[in-house]
Chains A and B, each alone.
Chain A
Amino acid sequence: MNAASPSILAALSPSDNEELAQRRAVLAEIDASCRGPLLFLFSGSIIWLLVGTVFALLASLKLHNPEYLANYSWLTFGRVRPAHLNAVIYGFASEAAIGVTLWLMCRLCRTPLLFGWIINAAGVFWNLGVTIGVVAILAGDSTGIEWLEIPPYATPILFVSYALIAVWGVITFRFRREKHLYVSQWYLLAALFWFPWIYSAAQILLVLDPVRGTVQAAVNWWFAHNVLGLWFTPIGLASIYYFIPKVLGKPVYNYSLSVLGFWSLALFYNWNGMHHLVGGPMPAWLITVSIVASVMMTIPVITVGINHHLTMWGSFRELKTSPVLRFMVFGGMSYTLTSLHGIALALRSVSEVTHFTHSTIAHSHQGMYAFFTMVMFGAIYYIMPRVLQVDWPSARLIRVHFWAVAIGILLYVFPLIVGGTLEGMAMTNPDVPFVDAVKPSVVSLTLPYLKTRSYSGMLIFLGHLAFAISFGWIVLRWAQAGRLARLKTSLARV
Chain B
Amino acid sequence: MNSPTSTPSSSPGNDPRSRGRPAGVKDLAARDPLEHVEPGESQRPISLMLVIFLATLFSWAGYYAHRYGGGYEPLIYNENAYGLAAAKTNAAEKLDPYALGQRVFGNTCARCHQPDGLGLPGQYPPLAGSEWVLAPGPARMIRIVLDAVQGPIPVKGATFDNVMTPWRDTLNDEQIAAVITFVRTQKEWGNTASPVTPEEVAAIRAKTKARSAAGPWTVAELQALPDQEPNP
Listed residue (B53, B71, B79) with the most chain A CB atoms within 10 angstroms of its CB: B79
Residue from A285, A292, A310 within 8 A of B70 (CB atoms)? A285
Q: Which residues of B contact A250 (CB under 8 A)?
A: 18, 20-21, 25, 28
The answer to whether B25 and A299 touch across the interface, beta carbons within 8 angstroms, is no
The answer to whether A285 and B76 touch across the interface, beta carbons within 8 angstroms, is yes
* A289 to B65 alpha-carbon distance, docked (Å): 6
Is B60 close to A, CB under 8 A? Answer: yes
Is A428 close to B, CB under 8 A? Answer: no
Interface residues of B in 77-96 (CB under 8 A from A): 77-79, 81
* A315 to B74 alpha-carbon distance, docked (Å): 53
Q: Which residues of A contact B75 (CB under 8 A)?
A: 283
Stretch of B1-9, B136-144, B177-185 on the interface side:
B1-9
- From known contacts A283-B70, A284-B79, infer whether A299 and B57 are also in contact, taking CB-CB under 8 Å: yes
Interface residues of B in 15-59 (CB under 8 A from A): 18-22, 25, 28, 42, 45-46, 50, 53-54, 57
Is B101 close to A, CB under 8 A? Answer: no
Is A253 close to B, CB under 8 A? Answer: yes
Stretch of A126-134, A254-262, A320-328 on the interface side:
A254-262
Q: Which residues of A contact B25 (CB under 8 A)?
A: 250-251
* A161 to B64 alpha-carbon distance, docked (Å): 42
Is A10 close to B, CB under 8 A? Answer: no
Residue from B22, B57, B69, B71 within 8 A of A295 (CB atoms)? B57
Is A213 close to B, CB under 8 A? Answer: no
Q: Which residues of A contact B73 (CB under 8 A)?
A: 283, 285
Is B203 close to A, CB under 8 A? Answer: no
Residue from B22, B54, B81 within 8 A of A299 (CB atoms)? B54
Q: How large is the interface on A (under 10, 10 to 19, 20 to 34, 35 or more residues)?
A: 35 or more
Shortest distance from the beta carbon of A449 to any chain B beta carbon, whole Å: 29
Q: Which residues of B contact A299 (CB under 8 A)?
A: 54, 57
**B66 to chain A: closest residue by CB:** A288
Q: Which residues of A contact B45 (CB under 8 A)?
A: 254-257, 259
- From known contacts A1-B4, A3-B1, infer whether A254 and B22 are also in contact, taking CB-CB under 8 Å: yes
The answer to whether B4 and A288 touch across the interface, beta carbons within 8 angstroms, is no
* A288 to B69 alpha-carbon distance, docked (Å): 6
Interface residues of A in 269-304 (CB under 8 A from B): 281-285, 287-289, 291-292, 295-296, 298-299, 302
Q: Which residues of A contact B72 (CB under 8 A)?
A: 285
Q: Which residues of A contact B71 (CB under 8 A)?
A: 285
Shortest distance from the beta carbon of B93 to any chain A beta carbon, whole Å: 12
Q: Which residues of B contact A281 (CB under 8 A)?
A: 77
Shortest distance from the beta carbon of B8 to any chain A beta carbon, whole Å: 14
Q: How large is the interface on B (under 10, 10 to 19, 20 to 34, 35 or more residues)?
A: 35 or more
Is B68 close to A, CB under 8 A? Answer: yes
The answer to whether A298 and B57 touch across the interface, beta carbons within 8 angstroms, is yes
* A298 to B53 alpha-carbon distance, docked (Å): 10
Residue from A19, A20, A284 within 8 A of B77 (CB atoms)? A284
The answer to whether A291 and B3 touch across the interface, beta carbons within 8 angstroms, is no
Is A313 close to B, CB under 8 A? Answer: yes
Q: Which residues of A contact B3 (CB under 8 A)?
A: 17, 20
The answer to whether B5 and A20 touch across the interface, beta carbons within 8 angstroms, is yes
Q: Which residues of A contact B81 (CB under 8 A)?
A: 284
The answer to whether A1 and B70 touch across the interface, beta carbons within 8 angstroms, is no
Is A6 close to B, CB under 8 A? Answer: no
The answer to whether A288 and B28 touch across the interface, beta carbons within 8 angstroms, is no
Is B120 close to A, CB under 8 A? Answer: no
Residue from B20, B22, B57, B78 within 8 A of A296 (CB atoms)? B57
Is B158 close to A, CB under 8 A? Answer: no
Shortest distance from the beta carbon of A24 to any chain B beta carbon, whole Å: 11
- From known contacts A284-B68, A291-B64, infer whether A251 and B46 are also in contact, taking CB-CB under 8 Å: no
**A259 to chain B: closest residue by CB:** B45
**A303 to chain B: closest residue by CB:** B50
Give a binary string over A9-34; 1 marks a CB under 8 Å from any B CB, 0 the rest.
00000001101100000000000000
Q: Which residues on B are within 8 Å of A, measured CB to CB?
A: 1-5, 18-22, 25, 28, 42, 45-46, 50, 53-54, 57, 60-61, 64-65, 68-79, 81
Given A20-B5, A253-B22, A314-B19, 11 extra CB contacts under 8 A: A17-B3, A257-B50, A260-B46, A283-B73, A284-B70, A288-B65, A289-B69, A291-B68, A296-B61, A310-B20, A348-B68
Q: List 21 A-B contacts (CB under 8 A).
A: A1-B1, A1-B2, A3-B1, A17-B4, A250-B18, A251-B28, A255-B42, A256-B42, A257-B45, A259-B45, A281-B77, A284-B68, A284-B81, A285-B69, A285-B73, A287-B79, A288-B64, A288-B79, A289-B65, A292-B65, A298-B57
User: What 4 A-B pairs are tightest by C-beta distance, nearest first?
Assistant: A314-B20, A256-B45, A284-B70, A284-B79
